[in-house]
Amino acid sequence: MRPRLPLTIPLVLLVLAACRDPDAPRPVNELESPPAGSAPLRPLTTRDEGVTDTRPVATRPLPPGLPDPSEPDIPDLARLARYVFREMRMAEQECPFVNPFNDPISFAFHVEVRDGRMSTVHLAWAALRTGEESRPLQPAPPELTAYAACLAPRLEAVAMDPSPSDGAYQPEYSYPGYPRAQ
């Protein structure tokens, strides 16, 4: 009488062969250096710091319709505002913001620039706009404070080239309101 192989062994081998994905990323040996001419390897996600894409700004795919910060002959505030706006657009999934008010909301970030980086980023002020008037919000709504806290690490990770001059800036942004139903 011939010994019989249990049916589970061939079944396991068949499942293992089927689960092998030829397109799966290979593990990277950290002792190897990256190929010549390529950017250094780094994670695309670092959730510990709240930054989800650490690739240099120049290598990130940009959503259409964003103003270009490298445009020549624009003032430093406009250049910085473009870098901030670009990160706001690129972070829409990770850092969502929906205006909790019926009226449009305006706000500004306080940004300090040093050596081509945003070294300090925080919410400077917030206000509701009704018509031509603006009413300061003290304190700022928690949704806006959370939004600024979420964006800060992303903004501080941006290497700006060309960079605005070192100094403090307050770029201003607005979000539309949600009118009351009639």
Blockwise average pLDDT, block size 10, the chain, 182 residues: 52 46 40 42 36 48 71 90 92 90 92 94 93 89 94 94 93 82 52
The 3 state secondary structure assigned to 128-162 is EEECCEEEECCCCCHHHHHHHHHHHHHHHCCECCC
Distance CA 8, CA 30 (A): 37
State residue 66's pLDDT score. 73
Global pTM value: 0.62
Does residue 53 lie in a domain region?
yes
Q: Is residue 27 part of a domain?
A: no
Give the chain's domain count: 1
Cα-based distances in Å from 116 to 16, 22, 76, 112, 157: 50, 41, 12, 10, 10
Q: Is residue 14 part of a domain?
A: no
**Domain annotation covers residue 77:** yes
Structural domain includes residue 146? yes
pLDDT number for residue 155:
94
For residue 85, the enclosing domain spans 42-58+70-175
Look at the block and give the residue holding tokens 């250094």: 40
Residue 28, domain member (yes or no) = no
The DSSP element (H or E) to which 172 belongs, if any, is strand 172-175
Q: Is residue 154 domain-resident?
A: yes
- The pLDDT of residue 69 is 86
Residue 162 within a domain: yes
